[in-house]
Amino acid sequence: GTLGSGCFGTVKRCRNKVDGAVYAVKIMGCNDRKNINEVRAMAVLSNKECSNIVRYHHSWIEGRQLYMVMEWCETSLRPLLEEHKKSHRYFSEGELKSILQDTLKALSELHQYQVVHLDVKPENILKTFAGGTNLLILGCADRLYSPTGRRSVRAMVSTWQ
């Protein structure tokens, strides 16, 4: 089923017919430079051992669509925050410490490979089935430097409200 959609594309939950594994598949237009940069950033990280970043498996172009297959995670931080708010419950100090440590470790790993995350927010922080936290990089990352060595990220504009 569809997990989410918007100007970034559509993300669907899919099951591999061969091995039965479940993945998240992002479907987006293949003519947008931003989408190609996103796949490049994910591909750079796929060859590394980045423990707190959502795993990229592969991608392909079919027709005018770009498909990107990634690790399936349990949920994002957004519904957990909403659930806590409704029940007047707070995250424990240990839970917050774990989420922040995992998120900061992921950002550090990104920076190590010259990739910057431009949209850290609860929707992009995912809880894994093992209880850890992974950072999602969908439409919000770019290489700090282009392959020619020129700085590719010149400015950031916040979209927070």
Q: Are 26 and 9 in contact (CB under 8 A)?
A: yes
| Annotated catalytic residue 142 | no
Contact 141, 118 (CB under 8 A): yes
Please identify which of the residues 19, 32, 102, 119 carries the catalytic annotation: 119
Q: Which two tokens stand for residue 147?
A: 């392959």
8 Å CB contact between 156 and 118:
yes
Q: Which residue has the tokens 């410490």?
A: 97
3-state secondary structure 121-137: CHHHEEECCCCCEEECC
Instruction: Concatenate the DSSP letters of all residues of 22-50 into one string.
Output: EEEEEEEETT-HHHHHHHHHHHHHHTS--
Q: What amino acid positions are annotated as catalytic residues?
A: 119
